[in-house]
Structure 1
Amino acid sequence: MFKKWLGNSEYSGRYLFNTSGQIYRKLNLKDKLDNMSIDQKAELLSNEGMLIKRPLIVDGSAIMCGFNEKEYSKKFL
């Protein structure tokens, strides 16, 4: 699933990554992500669950990552 999401320009880059997390900092991903392939990013997210920004909500083909009250209200209320 991560490859599919990362291949979508709306979710590419850092959208799925917990950029505040210890593992993100430990792996120095701030400087590395831009040069990584979709396959490499997907493998990281698959192997290191703590790299995934939460909450992660999947609704059909759409996903929402992280908490944004305005976006949640528009989508779910």
Structure 2
Amino acid sequence: MCIYSSNNYVGEIGDRAAGKGVANINPAYNDQMDSWWNETNSKARWYYDGNGKGTCNNFAPGTRDGNIGVNPSDELSSWATNGYCK
């Protein structure tokens, strides 16, 4: 699972293995994600706020998004690779 600061998978800001709980993004990269890929078989999610708080969005297994769009752009503060939003 990888997240990127720019569209089309440019500027990697984080990568995590499947099955990991909520973690805050490095503060230097807070609110910068614009694209991602999840080439694992694991459900994953990300949050607008730190510590798994705020709006939650899913990263479906085996999918990618090269441009997440305007509204969720530059919002990621924490993420997990062990399940979907509740």
Q: TM-score w.r.t. structure 2 length? A: 0.24
**Greater share of strand:** 2
Larger RCO (CA under 8 A, 6+ residues apart): 2
Q: TM-score w.r.t. structure 1 length? A: 0.26
Q: Quick check: which has more Rg, 1 or 2?
A: 1
**Greater share of helix:** 1
